[in-house]
Amino acid sequence: METMKISFACLLVLCTTVICQDESIRPRYQKFISQHINAGMSATRCNAVIHERGITKTNSNECKETNTFIRATTNLVKPICSQAGEPYGTMRKSLKPFDIVVCTLKNQGARRPHCDYKGQSRTRKIAINCGQGFPVHFERDIVHFND
């Protein structure tokens, strides 16, 4: 009976730890989705989407200099953190290229809501940071498919 109580207590602690870890990563994963996932994105929609999603430099009202949207679903991007990616320094690099839209600020130093972006469509492998198996930061696109 005592062994069963200890086993149950250990199981409870383990489950609580896993739930807490998932909860701590959830806001970062949601921010990643909001800032970087848009399957229907086009190069002409940078201003509208960045404005709708309230994307700015972290903790400010300044326009972000560049923002990259991955034209895919989370079901295609999340696996980069496991079987669909490989180590790339401290990050993970996608094994396959993605269609992306890179939005670059045209009016440097502008503040929201006066951000004006030029979009460019590309096909690139991507490098992301992962936390507990979830994408949490878009680092960059990779031009050369063989690196």
Catalytic residue (one of 36, 51, 114, 144): 36
Q: How far apart are CA 69 and CA 99, in angstroms?
A: 9
**Residue 144 is among the residues annotated as catalytic for this protein:** no
Alpha-carbon separation of residue 7 from 1, 86, 136 (angstroms) = 10, 37, 34
**Residue 114 is among the residues annotated as catalytic for this protein:** no
Catalytic residue (one of 51, 114, 137, 144): 137
Q: Cα angle at 34 between 30 and 36, to 5 degrees?
A: 110
Per-residue b or e along 96-114, where b marks 16 or more CB atoms closer than 10 Å to that residue's CB: eebebbbbebeeeeeebee
Q: Per-residue DSSP letters for 2-64?
A: HHHHHHHHHHHHHHHHHHHHHHHHHHHHHHHHHHHB-TT--GGGHHHHHHHHT--STTSSBPP
Residues belonging to the active site: 36, 137
